[in-house]
Structure 1
């Protein structure tokens, strides 16, 4: 039988965790590459590595966190563990560096590695919790609507507040501005993580199958055997890479295409603002056309907006904001639907296997998601390096070659659109539906009767 509706207080308590996920996923992706290339004099390709490698570590640590959290009675203590380490590590990442150039990349990379590890302690168990709160197909979407609503607000606030703090003195961002931003965002992370720990204290816990105590390799093999999960993982990877490239490219797009460093805030608001108001709309779309159909519509909107954005130099700043807003409407659907579909694939696995291993799946998911976001910064760094982009420090401004300006358009607009087309191809092959899950439940009930 479907689970009872979850109380609003629990939905809010769980949703608050999105302030951690949204903030930590957004701010480094938006500012860290630009911080290193334009404030610390780090070459673009090396700066991209400093962003990417700590997140690549997620491929190792996240599955282990998922496996270990599967073995605990409650996943909530893991949330608190992440809260102890992530805020101070994040603050130190943007606190400045005693060195500049290539050594600064190593210094920043070490702090960012510690922050990424702490984020895994929180985020992997957090993503596994919905599948253990409710079995109902549409209640999953309702719960995740709250999560994604909070996520939209968190990304909106973090993406608007962080650049504003960095530019608090006006003009080109300074190291002091980045340091202030790091401290403020660290406080936001701490409050959100602790609030989620206490806000989920009364969460129901559906009795699941016995946790599978097998080796990590066997559990990853199980993930590969879950076809809907692997297709969803592939389409999510393409989406996250697209967003990673776009976010990393936003400061460059504002500075060199729009020639207005403050425009990074308004561009970001145009992308994320629709997430706050469009979530209920996408829930209705998913009910009418199923989640797969909704995902296709959202992807097409994002792709069309990205292609149109590449013509900004012809049509101007207002046009650019309109294109980004169209991408934001699609992005809202991408975010809601992929996480709702993820919960479905976790239930699908348990109904088929009779084993509790959601943490392994969410560990692999979170690792892939964060790695692809970070790879977006690395990819952009490679593109800028190949195009001859010149890194600098605030007191030594430089002029960029025309090839570098063209590369910024590619990274900020065309590359994200192309990558989402890959996600569309994966979505067309995804076929898990409510009917499939209900048939598996009926078969399980017959066996256990």
Structure 2
């Protein structure tokens, strides 16, 4: 995988496989950790919300540091491999430990906080340089869109495997703490394999951070002038928070609204599986009508479908069928919310390089992943607040508690109304990005037309 040579399918697969791992890690804690604490470890909803939010808040500070370190290492070694390997080694055991809590109540709170901080820090070591690689794999926007399509297909596969497999492993393991422990070890092993492939493959990608690395403070000062980047980041953070809320709410909706905890995997698969097929479709649509326009349409439809879940979700075959169908619509839109912002991100990095003379891939992706982490952390936190305000009562696996009508209504508000509002709130930021972006020159067609898709139109840029 070099920046100069045309990218082969092997290059694309080698890079994209890592997104199976990032998808798994981003999904399982968001889907199960809050529910694990409130319904297995007996932690109060408000406290559990802080537990799953504060460790990720650490990443908002830590990720930019990793980005600056990644740029410095790229200058010294010409590659971003060392941090990728460090994250690959550290993340799987830290992930498994999160679900191996030896106690309930207060002891569980301390255990999950410490292990979650370790896991999020390890994930940052991998994620930040990993997201920086596409800007260094190609200078051409249409090629980076192709890279993102492959990446998001694998990301969707990882999310789908995580959402469908992890709850099933918990059930097969006997539910309770034992089932979650088995799931943590199993998923940790899958993570190790998925992350190792791109970590080793990154040795073939030459890094181009500039003549010398920028320190963190200097990177922030330089990035401050890139208004298009921050507008795109603001939209992405709001959308990430909306999706994270729905992931955190899924097991609660299955249990307390649809009437069966066993529907968690079905609900999740309906929410994510359509995106696996929709990613290439969004890629072709973006090439024809423009990435930003398609992203705005997907955002609006997502908000409408999420709001429609309010009257739809309930017990009974008809309510379950409509809920699952709406989740399918959300899954189609979710594909665009993943692939299109990430295909626009390298454009802002290269436009900034035209302005400053420095290609700060690590610094910008450090800020980007910090924002993404903040959004993913805010989602479960906001949902836990909704649960606490609605009077949700926590329990252990052996002593379940019947929830009040108000608590069940709070579950549905968090699953439908709040994500819809956040999606609508992201639209002004997308419009601001459209006003502030700097168009990049269209690259000439590649020598081998079979290797690359058609160049993007003016709208696509």
TM class by shorter chain equals over 0.9
SS of residue in 1 equivalent to 2:434:
coil
TM-score (norm 1): 0.93
Alpha-carbon separation, structure 1, partners of 2:388 and 2:107: 18
Deviation sequence 1:99-139 (CA, Å, 0-9, x none)? x2233112111001100000000000000011011000100
Deviation sequence 1:319-368 (CA, Å, 0-9, x none)? 00000110110000110001001111111111111113211111111111
Provide the aligned C-alpha RMSD in A.
1.9
Match of 2:186 among 184, 187, 207: 184
Q: Against the structure 1 CA distance between its residues 178 and 385, is the aligned structure 2 distance closer, same or farther, given a 3 Å change threshold? A: same
- Residue 148 in 1 paired to residue 149 in 2? no
Match of 2:128 in 1: 124
After TM superposition, list the pairs within 5 Å mapping 1:91-106 onto structure 2: 91-98=96-103, 100-106=104-110
SS of residue in 2 equivalent to 1:311:
helix
Q: Which of structure 1's runs of 4+ aligned residues deviate more than 4 A?
A: 432-435
Match of 1:25 in 2: 26
Contact between 2:92 and 2:188, CA under 8 Å: does it hold in 1? Answer: yes
- Residue 39 in 1 paired to residue 25 in 2? no
After TM superposition, list the pairs within 5 Å mapping 1:168-179 onto structure 2: 168=172, 173-179=175-181
Alpha-carbon separation, structure 2, partners of 1:434 and 1:218: 22
Alpha-carbon separation, structure 2, partners of 1:97 and 1:302: 40
Match of 2:200 in 1: 198
Deviation sequence 1:363-401 (CA, Å, 0-9, x none)? 111111112111111111111111110000011111111
Alpha-carbon separation, structure 2, partners of 1:368 and 1:208: 21
Alpha-carbon separation, structure 2, partners of 1:313 and 1:31: 20
Alpha-carbon separation, structure 2, partners of 1:89 and 1:29: 16
Shift of 1:440: 12
SS of residue in 2 equivalent to 1:407:
helix
Match of 2:79 in 1: 74
Shift of 1:432: 7.2
Alpha-carbon separation, structure 1, partners of 2:436 and 2:150: 22
Match of 1:447 in 2: none
Contact between 2:350 and 2:359, CA under 8 Å: does it hold in 1? Answer: no
Alpha-carbon separation, structure 2, partners of 1:207 and 1:174: 49
Match of 2:283 in 1: 283
TM-score (norm 2): 0.91
Match of 1:90 among 92, 95, 102: 95
Match of 2:273 in 1: 273
SS of residue in 2 equivalent to 1:260:
coil
- Residue 110 in 1 paired to residue 114 in 2? yes
Q: Structure 1: where are the runs of 5+ without partners?
A: 442-449
Match of 1:410 in 2: 413
Alpha-carbon separation, structure 1, partners of 2:427 and 2:420: 11
